[in-house]
Amino acid sequence: MSMKLYVSPSYSELDEYITISKSGFFFSADFMEKNKLTQNNYCQFFTSSDEEYKFGVSFSKDKLEGSFAIINTLRGKYKEKSMARSTTATAFFNSTPIFKELVKTGYKQRFGLKFEKNSNCYIFKVIPCFEISKKPDDIPDDITGIYRCLDKDKHILYIGKGNIKSRVKEHDNKGWGISKVEYSVIKDNESMSKYESYHLDQYKKENGAFPPQNMVGGKR
């Protein structure tokens, strides 16, 4: 008899993390406690000029410019013992398309938080998830990243990486019937390869096989 380990869908290998959901941002109890942040009432979010999928957050007791209120997430008689905190930060969430797309995917949206001295804030990096949608002819020239091609019924035909416009044109010339392309702009090839593999693996887990055009010629 063989035994299979049960892993809860809510399990995370991370202790110090931020969770992104429709209701906003959740900071884990371990993160708040270990970094002595539980007495703070506000947080500020930052975007990176160098990495589109890199974000920062800092905490303060007083309300500062651009800050959002953080609250104790627990209710009832045990509220005072809770270390976890959350914030809706609606304006920040709505101004950042990647967050909306992350929530739609249904993947585990927990990302590690680590203090970065140069930025003087806690850094978290999210997963690019095809947050830009265009018709094939409307894709800008000279952008690279990960992409997926969809047919008129919104079925995913292919997940790939590279120069998005030229790659999609190659696929279209093969008569795939591409109706829409969803993509994330990524500059370096190492990150493109990493996230292409990530999304291919996620697709296979959900569907039992890779997208149909990724299977052509035994590529996968």
Which ranges constitute the DSSP H helices of the chain?
Answer: 29-34, 90-94, 97-105, 164-172, 189-207
Tell me if the domain spanning 132-218 has CATH number 3.40.1440.10: yes
- Tokens linked to 217: 């010629």
DSSP-derived 3-state class of residue 122? strand
Report how far Cα 7 is from the mean position of its chain's Cα atoms.
22
**DSSP per position, 135-194:** -GGGSPTT-EEEEEEE-TT--EEEEEEEEHHHHHHHHHTTT----EEEEEE--SHHHHHH
Distance of CA 164 to the CA centre of its chain: 20
pLDDT recorded at residue 102: 85
| Phi and psi, residue 133, nearest 5° | -125, 130
Where do the structural domains in the chain lie, given as residue ranges?
Answer: 17-125, 132-218
Q: What is the pLDDT along the chain (220 residues), one digit of tens a residue?
A: 566 655 545 545 678 999 999 889 999 999 999 999 999 999 999 999 888 899 999 999 999 999 999 998 765 554 556 789 999 999 999 999 889 888 887 656 889 999 999 999 999 999 899 999 999 999 999 899 999 999 999 999 999 999 999 999 999 999 999 999 999 999 889 999 999 999 999 899 989 999 999 986 445 5
pLDDT at residue number 218: 44
For residue 51, what pLDDT is reported? 85
Predicted pLDDT at 3: 67
- Model's pTM, two decimal places? 0.77
Say what the pLDDT of residue 52 is.
86
Give me the count of residues in the chain. Answer: 220
pLDDT given at position 216 = 64
